[in-house]
């Protein structure tokens, strides 16, 4: 199966906002066409000076043309960026909403296998870094490529020899840039991994600071945190160092169009085969070729990011979901029954083997055993946090896989051994399951739990 282009996938994720991006590209393209007017005006002014034109009106007209072209380009460029940014932030919001809608549908095991640092990096940092490719790449790169193309087409119309001469330095310079681009995607993917490792180490260090201090493990834990930060810095340092020379050569060589245009163009002019008007126009217009192309090359970093980020987002959006029924189930009582249940958090390791038991409604059941024997796993399977690998679990005669997750969660109250408090008051934490609950039952629950 052919792999979908990351930019095409990003375009799909922006469903409903493509119109804004298209308008941004159109504004940028029209702006580029107006942006060519100052070059033509400059060429005409130089020709007027060479021909001895003394009419002030002549120069004022061409200065006005240059000014109008500049103002229209600036206005349309600003309009393009405004449209693209509005569409982009709407798309980033949509992507985050899709990811957050997806997470509760995935097995809890999949979520727990992903560190909070890595999850934060994907949802917050990586999605945010797509702002540049979406808001800037589409309108700006389109404009930066189209501008030189239009200039080259016009130069070929004027004189194909001068048009070819204006291109000599650009392929040489771009060859160095292509050497950087060849491995850029893989390098960026590596940077994401080392940053994820650093984020995980930071979150783990900060989250476990109480335990670290209690057991006097500060030196060892800090060393892991420090090493991950140094590894991240070292990766980026060596990556940027490897890019420094070829990028510098590309930027130095590409704009040197005059090296070929001036000497060869002068020979053609003195030989009588090149009109002075064409010679001057070529000199002026060729100055506008390399700059926009180099600006377009600045988006190499953004293009490399898109593939990695879209892959990270799609890994979540295309992740396996718990397959439960959609129609509300009718329960016959509240008895819980496990029939030949086997389960493993990962496909290659099973932790429960052929478990069968019945928990009658209205009774209290305790699971007793050593740490890691599967007590919490059975409880979480009953709560619907995972689906069994084989066998079945029923509640009131209904197989849990036929019960919609929302309905199942309404039937089970689960107090985990791993506590978590939201950044709210104790009162708001207690009523998190029912935000509209009045104060009286909240206080009653606190009293009953002994935390009043």
Q: Is the pTM of this model over 0.75?
A: no
Residue 335: the pLDDT is: 92
320, 106 contact by CB (below 8 A): yes
- 405 and 289: one domain? no
Question: For the domain that residue 142 is a member of, what is the CATH number?
Answer: 1.20.1560.10
Total Cβ atoms within 10 A of residue 212 = 19
Q: Which helix (H) or strand (E) covers residue 26, if one does?
A: helix 18-35
- 341 and 311: one domain? no
Question: Which residues touch 394 (CB under 8 Å, ≥6 apart)?
Answer: 335, 336, 337, 339, 400
pLDDT digits (tens, 9 = 90+) for 282-336: 888 887 777 777 777 777 666 767 777 888 888 888 887 887 878 888 888 899 9
Q: What is the domain extent for residue 348?
A: 336-420
- 156 and 300: one domain? yes
The HSE-up count of residue 196 (CA atoms within 13 Å, CB side) is 18
Does residue 21 sit within a domain? yes
- 292 and 381: one domain? no
Per the structure, how many domains does the chain have? 2
Residue 1: the pLDDT is: 45
Q: For the purposes of burial, counting CB atoms within 10 Å of the CB of 185, is it exposed (0-12), middle (13-18) or buried (19 or more)?
A: middle
Cα dihedral 136, 138, 143, 149 in deg (nearest 10): 140
* Confidence category of residue 360, pLDDT binned at 50, 70, 90: very high
- 35 and 113: one domain? yes
- 163 and 310: one domain? yes
Q: How far is CA 152 from the centre of its chain?
A: 34
* Confidence category of residue 176, pLDDT binned at 50, 70, 90: confident
């Amino acid at each position: 199966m052919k792999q979908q282009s990351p930019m095409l996938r990003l375009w799909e994720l922006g469903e409903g906002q493509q119109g804004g991006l298209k308008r941004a590209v159109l504004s940028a393209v029209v702006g580029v066409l107006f942006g060519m007017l100052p070059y033509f005006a400059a060429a005409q002014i130089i020709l007027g000076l060479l021909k001895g034109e003394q009419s002030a009106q002549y120069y004022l007209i061409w200065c006005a043309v240059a000014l109008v072209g500049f103002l229209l380009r600036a206005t349309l460029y600003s309009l393009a960026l405004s449209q693209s940014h509005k569409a982009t932030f709407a798309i980033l919001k949509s992507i985050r909403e899709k990811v957050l809608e997806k997470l509760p549908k995935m097995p809890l095991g999949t979520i727990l296998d992903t560190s909070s640092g890595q999850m934060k990096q994907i949802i917050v940092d990586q999605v945010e870094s797509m702002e540049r490719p979406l808001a800037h790449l589409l309108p700006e790169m389109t404009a930066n490529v189209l501008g030189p193309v239009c200039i080259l087409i016009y130069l070929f119309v004027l004189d194909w020899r001068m048009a070819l001469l204006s291109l000599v330095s650009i392929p040489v310079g771009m060859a160095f840039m292509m050497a950087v681009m060849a491995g850029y995607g893989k390098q960026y993917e590596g940077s994401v991994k080392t940053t994820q490792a650093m984020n995980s180490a930071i979150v783990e260090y900060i989250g476990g600071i109480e335990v670290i201090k209690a057991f006097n493990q500060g030196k060892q834990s800090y060393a892991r945190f420090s090493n991950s930060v140094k590894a991240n810095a070292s990766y980026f340092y060596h990556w940027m160092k490897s890019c420094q020379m070829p990028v510098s050569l590309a930027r130095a060589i590409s704009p040197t169009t005059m090296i070929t245009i001036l000497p060869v163009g002068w020979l053609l002019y003195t030989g009588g085969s090149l009109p002075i008007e064409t010679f001057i126009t070529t000199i002026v217009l060729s100055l506008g070729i390399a700059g926009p192309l180099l600006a377009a090359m600045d988006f190499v970093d953004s293009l490399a990011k898109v593939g990695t980020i879209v892959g990270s987002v799609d890994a979540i959006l295309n992740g396996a979901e718990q397959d439960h029924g959609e129609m509300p189930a009718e329960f016959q009582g509240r008895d819980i029954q496990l029939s030949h249940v086997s389960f493993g958090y990962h496909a290659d390791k099973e932790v429960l083997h052929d478990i069968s038991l019945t928990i009658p409604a209205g009774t209290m059941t305790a699971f007793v055993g050593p740490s890691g024997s599967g007590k919490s796993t059975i409880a979480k399977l009953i709560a619907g946090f995972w689906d069994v690998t084989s066998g079945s679990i029923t509640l009131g005669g209904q197989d849990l896989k036929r019960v919609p997750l929302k309905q199942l969660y309404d039937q089970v109250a689960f107090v985990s051994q791993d506590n978590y408090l939201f950044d709210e008051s104790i009162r708001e934490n207690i009523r998190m399951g029912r935000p509209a609950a009045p104060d009286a039952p909240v206080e009653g629950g606190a009293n009953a739990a002994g935390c009043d």
